[in-house]
Amino acid sequence: MAMITGGQAVAETLSSLGVTRVFGIVSVHNLPIYDALSLHPDIEVTNVRHEQAAAHAADAYSRVTGGLGVILTSTGPGAVNAIAGIYEAAFVSSQLLMITGQIESRFRGKAKGFLHEYEKQPDMLRSVCRSVASVRYTEDISKDIAGVVDDIRRGRPQPGAVEIPIDLQYRIAEVQIVGSPHTERLSPDENLLDQAAALLQQAERPVIWAGGGGNISG
């Protein structure tokens, strides 16, 4: 384990997960993550003009490559702007990870009216994401991200989101970087496969009409 900032923990975790591209918009609520990503030549950051564009770009990236599309947004309005794109990704079963900020931990739930404050952000994200994690400790950042990614890839892929308060992004802590999780893939019934193969062999003009799941399954 290494003593690193929360922002560095995000960058190190994304690198360990094999992420090579991130789409997003820089904000006061994700600066430590952007700073850390700038030190990772293996991860290219594509900045966009609107968070919805970031979500659509990450969705397209996942569809084309079969990999994990990642977006980085601010808290509150920034996260809200990405919702339409995340919904589309959910509809087509894209592997999309959203990492968003949040106001300082000590002020959450106190209705102080901080910039971009949105206490119920996780509830909003759950409307379009199967798994949502709200980080409580810097030490948990890598574990929480890896856990959401594991769920994203499990069964029928669905988007997931992680929100990280800005104070935890700046805080230095001893963080164990979690590598790519081993996700159990669903296996088809071999008897049904044999039956399908027999039908294809008997067909005079066989045609296979496969949806996006065929591409996702490799």
Q: Helix, strand or coil for residue 133?
A: strand
Query: Rounded to whole angstroms, how far apart are CA atoms 36 and 30?
Result: 10
pLDDT digits (tens, 9 = 90+) for 140-190: 999 999 999 999 999 889 999 999 999 999 999 999 999 766 666 667 788
Domain-wise residue ranges, the chain: 2-175
Q: What is the mean pLDDT of the chain?
A: 91
Give me the torsion for CA of 201, 205, 208, 209, rounded to 10°: -150
CATH superfamily for domain 2-175: Thiamin diphosphate (ThDP)-binding fold, Pyr/PP domains (3.40.50.970)
pLDDT digits (tens, 9 = 90+) for 95-121: 999 999 998 888 777 676 666 777 789
